[in-house]
Amino acid sequence: MPNAWARYLACCAVAAASEVAAAALPPDWLVATVDAPVTLVEHADGTISLTNGLLTRTFALAPGFGTVAYVAEATAARPREHVLRSVVAEATVVLDGVAYAVGGLSLEQNHSAYLRRPVKYAVDADAFAYVSHSTSSPEAPVPWEHGRRHAPNASWPPEGLRLDVAFRAPAGATRHRNVTVWLHYELYAGAPLLAKWASLAVDAGAADVVVDRVDVELLAVNAPFAKENVARHHGSTAGPAGRLHAETDQPHGTQILWQDDAAFAEAADAGAVEPVLNATYASGPGVRLGSVDAFASFRVFEMTLDGFDVERDQLATHQIVRRLAPWTSENPIFFHLTDASSAGFRRAVDQMADVGFEMVIYSFGSGFRLETRNETYLASVAADVAYAAAKGVEVGGYDLICLDRGHGGYGGDVGDEWARVNDDGSLGVDACFASGWADELRSLALDFLDATGLAMLETDGPYGGGECAATNHSHHRGREDSVYMQTKIQAEFYTELRRRGVFVNQPDDYFYQGGQKTGMGYDENQYSLPRWEDLSVSRQSMFDDTYARTPTQGWMFVPLNEYHGGGESAVFEPLAENIDDYEWALAQYLGYGVAACYRGDRLFDSNETKAVVAKWVAFYKAHREILVSDLVHLRRPDMQGIDAILHVNPFAASGEVALAMIFNPTDARQATSLRLPLYYAGLTTSATLADSSGAARTVALDRSYAVDVALDMAPRAVEWVVVTAP
């Protein structure tokens, strides 16, 4: 009996210790704030660690520099896990055709399992060697003001810590002895999120140096963090993604590769089949140091994921753009106006003010001209912009800026001297954005903004990644540096617009440079389908694309007037005759939190259509904070029954931590139930649910933090449920 009692007391002690240990762990960062500071810790063994309580990256400074530990720290949602299985070069650079490792540290032991004790490091004498390191606070690479256009609050610059590490050329690199390489790391507060990039410079007066290639990040990664099923010796990218998510901040010319480990030797390294992560360039950069002051690479963003749950992973990875490009959360309700006459413009603005629309965009085909210095035209636009401003409406305009602006391009030839040149010397249909055209466009656009007060630009056809073989263009030397320079100049244009507070639509992925919206995964031809088919396909597009993007990163389309064709069955005009389809469009787009281009010359044509528009605009504005939040995907639209999404935001200042949008697209009444998983709303025991009628009730959540809601939906009906903490 005494022994049994002792065992019981021992078990109680272990349980109590486990509870204390669990309580001491950081909470799940997706549903609670992690307050741990970001610090650089110096260890007795000479290593240093960049850590934020969720992610720790440890570097050796001697005998060479390199990442020797990369740890996903334990939280209430996951155990502590090591990401690395081996040590490889911290980065590589190729200068004038000569390849150099950066840091020079590698491992002299089996590469399948990282045996930290004892550890045998090797040092590459021909590598760029560690010189020094320093820390500072992150800076804002793109200017942005808090609170613009109802954007949720976000820290900008992001909270965190930056580590800069300098490297000098090896003694034997006489040709490149005047080159300095820096590696930069930023670890951000409150998320397992890290950024890394490289920069290079040459001493003043030294000979020019061509940067042929830069591998910004190299990591030999353990399963399950590595990409699965990558074939040995082939560098295949097939297979499911691993739990180390990596992406770059540039839309063109970069790539994330999962490659065979070059250090793998089958005889000595049995089991070392996981690939190496390589964040590198797909083209170039090919830039010449000396002709530019310094070279700065793209940034790679890395996040450790907690598992293979698709919904959790997409909620986590969406935090990258929310934290590092917060301007993408601005989500004005805009109207694409097809009549640019002053009378037509003012009629539309009056309607917008009546129903609460917030931005009017001179649409393509409207007669709007951005590329002009005609003072009479500029004065006319300025007067209309002032009229709209007095009504609380911002004004934007459309322009096709690069694609199809070259030789024979449908958007208007900018001149053969500025056209993209193919490898065979022929002229391409796109303009080269590292030619004088980029300077001319920038001058025209910025002068237009200054003269008129325009607050938005829809820049269709931005630079899309094509190489240019011209050798006489203003800003690139040839094909080898053309992608890098065109991407850089396009990015600088968007960053300048962001500095001016100009809202930017761009059908591409320049989000980290200042762009705010792109097309939400649609095919333009779907808007030529009959209205109901268009709405159905479009809702599928939003459901699917919000796995990859936040709702506010994309736009959809409502062809009030004819767009690509389809005739009367495709367009929504006359609005009064198609009021049911029109209301459904407003409900599904505003309910998803996705902006739509309502394109036509009016928003309503009767008191009934005016009331419908005003109803859904008011709904959106009443629940704006939760509607622009990320969502959990409940049931994909298949048009055979109900479909649904659940917006979630455990940090919502409004107290609305979730909102379910539920659609019945069928012609039959649907009596069913819908399960609402409320863990990511930050709720664990109970919730208050308010349905579309406003009736509210408090319910208990089950052990999976969910509740089942009974539904009885009329044919072609839309309902919603607002969730708050009790």
Assign 209 a pLDDT band (cuts: 50, 70, 90): very high
Is the predicted pLDDT of residue 7 greater than 80, yes or no?
no
The kind and range of the H/E element at 200 are strand 193-202
Amino acid letter, 587 = A
The kind and range of the H/E element at 396 are strand 394-400
Residue closest to 362 by CA, chosen among 560, 599, 191, 580: 599
Mean pLDDT lowest for which of 115-124, 304-313, 632-641, 643-652?
115-124
Q: According to the model, what pLDDT value does residue 116 have?
A: 57
What's the Cα-to-Cα distance from 404 to each of 75, 429, 464, 504, 565, rounded to whole Å?
Answer: 51, 5, 11, 20, 21
Q: According to the model, what pLDDT value does residue 19 have?
A: 40
Q: According to the model, what pLDDT value does residue 564 have?
A: 85
Q: Round to whole Å and give the CA distance between 169 and 104.
A: 11
Which residues contact residue 670 at a Cβ distance below 8 angstroms, ignoring those fewer than 6 apart?
Answer: 641, 642, 664, 711, 712, 713
Whether the CB-CB separation of 620 and 333 falls below 8 Å is answered with yes
Cα 60 versus chain centre, distance: 32
Is the predicted pLDDT of residue 18 greater than 50, yes or no?
no
Amino acid letter, 462 = P
pLDDT digits (tens, 9 = 90+) for 379-398: 999 999 999 999 999 999 99
pLDDT digits (tens, 9 = 90+) for 564-590: 889 999 999 999 999 999 999 999 999
Torsion angle defined by CA atoms of residues 593, 598, 602 and 607, in that order, rounded to the nearest 10 degrees: -40
* Strand-pair category, 656-664 with 643-648: antiparallel
Q: Round to whole Å and give the CA distance between 216 and 197.
A: 6
**What's the half-sphere exposure (Cβ side, CA atoms, 13 Å) at 185?**
27
Please give the average per-residue pLDDT across 48-62, as a whole number: 98
% of the chain surpassing 90 pLDDT = 85
Conformational region of residue 357, where left means phi above 0, alpha means psi within -120 to 50, and beta covers everything else = beta
Backbone angles phi, psi at 160, to 5 degrees: 165, -160
pLDDT digits (tens, 9 = 90+) for 589-607: 999 999 999 999 999 999 9
Higher pLDDT, residue 222 or 407: 407
Q: Round to whole Å and give the CA distance between 680 and 30.
A: 7
Q: Round to whole Å and give the CA distance between 185 and 206.
A: 28
Q: According to the model, what pLDDT value does residue 516 have?
A: 98
Q: Round to whole Å and give the CA distance between 270 and 83.
A: 19
What are 597's strand-pairing partners? 557
* Strand-pair category, 419-421 with 696-700: unpaired
Higher pLDDT, residue 22 or 157: 157
Residue entry with tokens 């934290």:
323
Is the predicted pLDDT of residue 640 greater than 70, yes or no?
yes
Q: Round to whole Å and give the CA distance between 531 and 537.
A: 10
Q: According to the model, what pLDDT value does residue 124 have?
A: 96
Assign 303 a pLDDT band (cuts: 50, 70, 90): very high
Q: According to the model, what pLDDT value does residue 113 have?
A: 63
Higher pLDDT, residue 689 or 222: 689
Assign 288 a pLDDT band (cuts: 50, 70, 90): very high
Q: According to the model, what pLDDT value does residue 265 have?
A: 52
* Strand-pair category, 209-215 with 91-95: antiparallel
What are 660's strand-pairing partners? 646, 721
Q: According to the model, what pLDDT value does residue 107 have?
A: 83
Written as six digits, the tokens of 528 are: 């030529």
Rg of the chain on CA atoms, in Å: 28
Q: According to the model, what pLDDT value does residue 232 have?
A: 47
Whether the CB-CB separation of 431 and 418 falls below 8 Å is answered with yes
Bond before 138 cis per omega within 30 degrees: no
Q: According to the model, what pLDDT value does residue 20 have?
A: 40
Mean pLDDT lowest for which of 234-243, 430-439, 597-606?
234-243
Whether the CB-CB separation of 306 and 78 falls below 8 Å is answered with yes
Is the predicted pLDDT of residue 147 greater than 90, yes or no?
no
pLDDT digits (tens, 9 = 90+) for 654-663: 999 999 999 9
pLDDT digits (tens, 9 = 90+) for 333-359: 999 999 999 999 999 999 999 999 999
Q: Round to whole Å and give the CA distance between 178 and 169.
A: 7
* Domains along the sequence of the chain with CATH: 39-326 (2.70.98), 329-400+436-461+502-624 (3.20.20.70), 629-724 (2.60.40.1180)
Q: According to the model, what pLDDT value does residue 222 have?
A: 87
pLDDT digits (tens, 9 = 90+) for 398-410: 999 999 999 999 8
Is the predicted pLDDT of residue 636 greater than 70, yes or no?
yes
Q: According to the model, what pLDDT value does residue 263 have?
A: 62
Q: According to the model, what pLDDT value does residue 15 have?
A: 38
Helix, strand and coil percent figures for the chain, each rounded to 5? 25, 30, 45
Q: According to the model, what pLDDT value does residue 255 have?
A: 97
Apex 143 CA angle, 138 and 146, nearest 5: 95
| 3-state secondary structure (DSSP) of residue 143 | coil
| 3-state secondary structure (DSSP) of residue 225 | coil
Please give the average per-residue pLDDT across 257-264, as a whole number: 76
Higher pLDDT, residue 579 or 240: 579
Whether the CB-CB separation of 111 and 272 falls below 8 Å is answered with yes
Apex 246 CA angle, 242 and 251, nearest 5: 135
Q: Round to whole Å and give the CA distance between 322 and 632.
A: 16
Is the predicted pLDDT of residue 233 greater than 90, yes or no?
no
Is the predicted pLDDT of residue 230 greater than 60, yes or no?
no
Please give the average per-residue pLDDT across 1-17, as a whole number: 40
Mean pLDDT lowest for which of 15-19, 25-29, 207-211, 515-519?
15-19
pLDDT digits (tens, 9 = 90+) for 532-554: 999 999 999 999 999 999 999 99
Q: According to the model, what pLDDT value does residue 260 have?
A: 77
Task: Share the mean pLDDT of the chain.
Answer: 93
Please give the average per-residue pLDDT across 142-158, as a whole number: 93
Assign 707 a pLDDT band (cuts: 50, 70, 90): very high
% of the chain surpassing 70 pLDDT = 92
Is the predicted pLDDT of residue 13 greater than 70, yes or no?
no
| 3-state secondary structure (DSSP) of residue 487 | helix
Is the predicted pLDDT of residue 97 greater than 90, yes or no?
yes
